[in-house]
Amino acid sequence: MTVTKFQDLPLADRDREWDGDAAERRVREWAGAEDGPNAKYRDAHVWYDGDKADNFTAYKLLIADVVDGRIRAVPRGVMAAGNVMQGSRGGADLPKDDIDRVKNHLAKYYEKMGETAPWERD
């Protein structure tokens, strides 16, 4: 199992709506990954199952979208992923050993947005 490398993607506008299904379609097209996942597609997600890397369903926690032809982390996408990860095990079906690494990845985007990740708040 694999947590993607932090890409430090530029942020989209804070008020940009988040539609994960539409973002998924745009990311696939932008990445040239219509027939199968590739490295560009992977970088838009926080986690993927390395044993099934050639299957789109192996990728979880999409946080990016294509804005003006460029990939960007969408604050509302980051927050949606953060909401899934709240709690000790998170709401995502991920291996226990990956939970802290996923949270650390997302926390970097929260920091970039000038916020604290939900699991780090008092």
Q: What is the pLDDT of residues 39-59, one digit of tens each?
A: 999 999 999 999 999 999 999
Beta carbons of 105 and 3 less than 8 angstroms apart: yes
Beta carbons of 79 and 116 less than 8 angstroms apart: no
pTM of the model: 0.92
Residue 47: beta bridge partners?
A: 3, 60
How many domains does the chain divide into?
1
The whole-number pLDDT of residue 86 equals 81
User: Can you give the residue range of the structural domain that contains 23?
Assistant: 2-120
The whole-number pLDDT of residue 87 equals 59
Query: Sign of the CA dihedral 8, 65, 61, 19?
Result: positive
Beta carbons of 14 and 113 less than 8 angstroms apart: yes
- Write out pLDDT tens, residues 58-90: 999 999 999 999 999 999 999 999 999 885 555
Q: SS3 for 109?
A: helix
